[in-house]
Amino acid sequence: MRNRRIMFIGIAILLIFAGFICRLAQIQLFATTSFSRAHVNLITQSITQRTSQFVINNGRGILLDRTGKVKLNDVEQPALVLFPFLKNRKWPVEKLARIINVPAADMTSAIKRAKEAFVFRGQSLKLTKEQMKQINQLHIVGVQALKVRQPSKEWSDSYVLGTTKENPTAIQKLYPDLLKNGNVTTQTPIGVLGMEKAFDPFLLSKNETKLLYHTSASGEPLFDNSVRVSSKANTEYYPLKVKTTLDTAIQKLAEQAAAKHGLKKGGVVILDAVTSDLLSMVSLPQMDAHHPFANGNQMLKAQYPGSVFKIVTAAAAIQNNLVNDEETFNCNLNPYGTGQGERQLGALNFEDSFAQSCNYTFATLANRLMETDDQTLTRFGKALGLTDKVGWTDDVFRLQNFQQFPDEESNVIWAKGADHHDSKAIAQTAIGQLNVRLTPLSVANMMATISRGGEKQSVRSATEVDYNQPSGVKLTTFPKEGLGDSRLESYTILRLQALLRDVVKDKKGTGHALADASYPVAGKSGTAETDKGHTNEWFAGYFPADDPKYAMVVVNLDHHPGDHKTYEIYHDLVDDLHQLDEARHS
């Protein structure tokens, strides 16, 4: 019995050792380039553990402005790269300090804090060609002067361009074939927000270039102390270039106007009124690089619109022949007609009710409309592009349902299960309250739609993807596309255009503060109570009113009543865009 037990134990031990040997054989011989479900390249990982490296060029695709000349996400700039093992060596730091005109102590202090290779002083250190030549002639191990790809400062609003992060789980799901073929690794950064996320299939890095030092366990460089360059670059065609619709000059104006008036939460959307192409987008608070998902792009989130939604109610009333020029409404009443309203406006006709934003008028008209068709507000919202997402979406190559605005939320007019026959619910919906939520992007597109006579188009953020060639050979294009067949009648659009212009022209109109702007403005204000007891203040419009070039929305979110930054920002931007246009045409 005892001998049997010993035999079983011996066999178990042999099996365990055999398992260890098989596992070692798998690791060392059979699965060195694709280990485990994560397809880890063990050879690469082994080398990585014995190297000190710095990425010169991450090989990621380039985002260009609408001219195709300005790089928005990254630019190559002269830089001084220092490796952390310098802290344990004697090297002529004083000579280097004299060349770049900085205190030697600044460099030694930065190196002591460093855990990996870094660009000294980032983009604030401006190196000349002569300085770079002198630095490299010193032949200091761990010191390199070269052109390094760094984040561009042309576009500071990060939510529009977005950001990249390492996400092994996502890269395995999105790019299994590229991972298997070794074109990417689980450490390859992918886009997680904004345009970086939307165009990631085109921008994804396959051509990273690095500086490498083989190092010992203590971090000291081995062999001949020389630096190696590792690259798989195929610069004939890659990296790809995405030509966006963004205008850097307009973006700077929008950012400056928002900062000047202290906008804390909210933002600006500016579209080309003719094409609905995105020219500028500002979202505040700005993105925190360490917590990029903390706030999100407020211009792509569905927000309470308030009286901006009265445009939909007005369109339905006009097209259904409910507007009687002789009828007046008691605008001293609240929306339900059961008591006094917050503003005492007296008896107003339809046009004056729109200009002065009378709640009672539009609540009354909406109830009349819904008596005969409880889908009226939804149908007219659809005709103005407010029931579907407005960002460009289509199939591109093997990419089905490719979205240029993947973070765009859906609008809401009626919540699921809402009572379309409740008079109070109808009244609240008609004036943009209750369950109504609209993204600022979709509202800006609605204004562009009205400005060009009712033709609905999706919003583009990019027009084409080009190969990395001077001749600009195109890989693909993103053509203009419509947003469904439903649209308003021409007469309805003409009446809406007149109403929107009166909001600014009428001395009692809610947008009269914009009457003296450099371009004539047509638009609609909106004030909505939010869940937090604060208000959202909107102004949405287009200009010049007689020959529209821009559709613009400015919104101040979750602020205390009485704070009118929205109009101040809007006015400044209309004036600034007028001045910019004159300068460009002079």
- Map out the domains of the chain with their CATH numbers: 76-151 (3.90.1310.10), 248-259+304-585 (3.40.710.10)
Residue-wise pLDDT for 372-430, tens only, equals 999 999 999 999 999 999 999 999 978 899 999 999 999 999 999 999 999 999 999 99
Catalytic residue among 52, 307, 353, 458: 307
Q: Catalytic annotation on 307?
A: yes
Query: Which residue is listed with tokens 């345009």?
Result: 195
Share of the chain above pLDDT 70, in %: 89
pLDDT higher than 90, residue 217: no
**Interval 219-228 mean pLDDT:** 60
Q: State residue 462's pLDDT score.
A: 98
Q: State residue 459's pLDDT score.
A: 98
**Interval 96-100 mean pLDDT:** 96
Residues with Cβ within 8 Å of 453's Cβ and at least 6 positions away in sequence, in order, are 490, 493
Higher pLDDT, 271 or 563: 271
pLDDT higher than 60, residue 39: no
**Interval 342-369 mean pLDDT:** 97
Among candidate residues 152, 87, 81, the one with its CA nearest the CA of residue 118: 81
Higher pLDDT, 220 or 191: 191
Q: State residue 207's pLDDT score.
A: 72
**Interval 114-142 mean pLDDT:** 92
Distance CA 483, CA 456 (A): 5
Report the first-to-last Cα separation within the chain, whole angstroms. Answer: 105
Distance CA 329, CA 362 (A): 10
Mean pLDDT of all residues belonging to the chain? 89
Edge-to-edge strand ranges of the sheet holding 118-119: 118-119, 74-82, 143-151
Long-range contacts of 226-231 (CB under 8 A, 24+ apart): 226/141, 227/141, 227/144, 229/56, 230/53, 231/207
The pairing of strands 62-64 and 522-529 is: unpaired
Residue-wise pLDDT for 1-23, tens only, equals 666 777 777 777 777 776 666 66
Residue-wise pLDDT for 534-586, tens only, equals 999 999 999 999 999 999 999 999 988 777 899 999 999 999 999 999 999 98
Q: State residue 225's pLDDT score.
A: 55
Residue-wise pLDDT for 477-512, tens only, equals 999 999 988 899 999 999 999 999 999 999 999 999
Backbone angles phi, psi at 85, to 5 degrees: -70, -5
Residue-wise pLDDT for 60-75, tens only, equals 999 999 999 999 988 8
**Interval 424-447 mean pLDDT:** 97
pLDDT-derived band at 452, boundaries 50, 70, 90 = very high
pLDDT-derived band at 49, boundaries 50, 70, 90 = very low
Range of lowest pLDDT (74-83, 268-277, 454-463, 517-526): 74-83
Range of lowest pLDDT (151-160, 402-411, 420-429, 513-522): 151-160
**Interval 286-291 mean pLDDT:** 86
